[in-house]
Each structure stands twice: as C-alpha cells, then as structure tokens.
Structure 1
C-alpha cells in the first residue's frame, strides 16, 4: 500500500496543479479574480466547499491518528493539505502512517 499512497500523492500534486499553474501564468496572483471565479458558478462553489470540509477532516484525522501512533512531522501532511489540497494531504499522511507502522514492527 505504501507505493500506492506515494503514487496517489504524486497524482494529487500533478493533476490539480496541471490546471492551476496555467491559470496562474495567465492571470498572475490575481486573488480577487480567483475568488470571483470560485463563486460565479454553483458547481465551483460546491467543489470548493467540499475541499474545505475535507481538508478540515484530514487535519483532525492527522492530529488524532498521528498523536495516537506517536508519529513525527505531522505538520507536513497538514501543510500539504492547505497548500496542495486534500488530494495531496490525505495520501501523503497515509503514506507516512504506513511507513511509521512498518518501522514499528
């Protein structure tokens, strides 16, 4: 599973950023435009709210599971969730958890 989690982390970085980076190149750090485009379409609002709730759940899970297992560097999947989204933070945490569990045995 470790390899699958690592692959999913990579896909979670590449796929979303393959769409965001061209937008960023075209528009720059135009935060008002970003917000406008997020809220101008109900489907986009749905997707963003889903991501926000999912990231909050991931943070809670990382803190809870990580402390229970006495894992280190829990800030990494939390930061990855806020920077790259749920598609990066969740598989990265699962990868780190699997590595931690394998080293304990």
Structure 2
C-alpha cells in the first residue's frame, strides 16, 4: 500500500497543479481574477467548499491519528493539504502512516 499511497500523492499533486499552471500561464498572478473565477457560479463554490471542508477534516484526522500513533513530522501532510489540497495531503499522510507502521514492525522483530 505504501507504493500506492506514494503514487497517489504524486498524482494528487500533478493533476491539479497542471491545470493551475495552465491558468497561471494564461492570466499570470492575477489574484483578483482568480478569486472572481472560483466563486463565479454555484458549482465552483460547491467544489471549493468541498475542498475546504475536506482539508479541515484531514487536518483534524492527521492531528488525532498522528498523535495517537506517536508519529513525527505531522506538519508535513497538514502543510501539503493547505498548499496542494486534499488530493496531496490525504495520500501523503496515509503514506507516512504506512511507513510508521513498517518502522514499528521492524523494531518489534
């Protein structure tokens, strides 16, 4: 599963950012236009609100599960969620969790 989570993290970063880069190429750093376009219709607002709520859930899940499992560097998937979105933060945390489990298993052996 670790390999799948790593691959999903890369895909989760590459796909959304490929579209954002296209937008930046066309419009530059026009943040006024950016915010106008992300709230210009109910479907866009729906998608952004879904992402925002999902990122909040991921942050609480990472903090809770990570603390219970005594994981380190929990700030990384949290930051990835805010910077890259849920499609980066969630699979990254799951990857880190698998690595943590493997490390625990190695110590027990």
1:32-78 deviation line (CA, Å, top 9, x unaligned): 11110011111111000000000000000000000000100000000
Question: Which deviates more, 29-38 or 79-88?
Answer: 29-38
Alignment partners' CA distance in 2, 1:62 and 1:30: 33
RMSD: 0.6
Give unpaired runs (5+ residues) of structure 2.
none
Residues 72-91 of structure 1 correspond to what in structure 2 (within 5 A)?
72-91=72-91
**Larger Cα Rg: Structure 1 or Structure 2?**
2
Give unpaired runs (5+ residues) of structure 1.
none
Alignment partners' CA distance in 2, 1:68 and 1:31: 39
Question: SS at 2:83's partner residue?
Answer: helix
Please give the TM-score of this superposition, normalised by the length of structure 1: 0.98
Which residue of 1 is the match for residue 35 of structure 2?
35
